[in-house]
Amino acid sequence: MKVIDHINTSKETLFSFEILPPLKGKSIQSIYDGIDPLMEFKPKFINVTYHREEYVYKEREKGLLEKVSIRKRPGTVGICAAIMNKYHVDAVPHLICGGFSKEETENALIDLQFLGIDNLLALRGDPIKTEVSFTPHPKGHRYAVELIEQIDAMNKGEYTLDDIKLEPTNFCIGTAGYPEKHFEAMNMQTDLFYLKQKVDAGADYIVTQMFFDNKKYFEFVEACRSVGITVPIIPGLKPIKNLKHISFLPKFFNIDLPDDLSNELLKCKTDMDVRNLGVEWGIQQSKELKQAGVPCIHYYTMSNSKEVKEIASAIF
């Protein structure tokens, strides 16, 4: 079932969450261990992120350089198929621009269709550590809107393999939105302009970057509606878990923490203090969002479900 159909047929706020593929060497059981505690809340869909393989170049004989993989996570498509088979819940793989040609993207989409996976989240993706800024594949997409256009074209039966006739796909396309502006956008208005382009290109719904101030989300939704974006906007939440997060999350995700939260965090002395505050803050955020009638609350678990389970227990 498509994410948009889950939203349109539900009379209450849905619960969903996102997981990371395990690092190379870990089994699928590590995925199940993160999902099992959250199944009691009846998630309608589970997102699975995609992380590009990262490389370093090591010098070999005669000054030649060898490309060596240093970080790789198992395939998102396979994990999604395993989740759907085990839990009978819709899985939403992340599809990114970085590292893929248009032909490789098309092949991945054909594989998804064969597996019965009809939802996906289309993203540009972040630069890898060896890149100063995002660098697209020479034969790939530079922006998420181009990826969405390719998916939408396949939904209409238009393939790059124009010498053969293939059935149209039927993907429900999600895209990302940023209540506090994407860090590369000049301002919020230009960010909304590009977001509307993605929706006009075929995105069915929006999932937001994490935020800790609900006012930012409500203002973002209002701003989206003012420029003609009418698709559902799903808030994304993540509980703060440790002292490191206090500086890491604002820096890495380009977000601000509200004064009420930051004042309390300044009083925290241990990781457990931060963790307990993060859970309580997540509960209060979730209660307000649910009371406001948001279509779904999406939690970023980072494959650690303990804190999200505590929050969901108080909300769903």
Q: Give the C-alpha separation, 312 to 316, whole Å.
A: 5
**CA dist list (Å): 111 to 52, 59, 74, 116, 199:** 18, 37, 16, 9, 24
Yes or no: domain 3-241+274-315 corresponds to CATH 3.20.20.220:
yes
The residues, ordered by sequence, that sit 6+ positions from 114 with a Cβ below 8 Å of its Cβ are none
Per residue in 193-205, pLDDT (tens digit) is: 999 999 999 999 9
State pLDDT tens for residues 258-309: 999 999 999 999 999 999 999 999 999 999 999 999 999 999 998 789 999 9
Token pair for residue 126?
């972040």
Are the C-beta atoms of residues 208 and 177 closer than 8 Å to each other? Answer: yes
- 45, 16 Cβ separation under 8 angstroms: yes
The residue ranges of every structural domain in the chain are 3-241+274-315
Chain segment 105-138, per-residue pLDDT in tens: 998 899 999 999 999 999 987 656 666 667 777 8
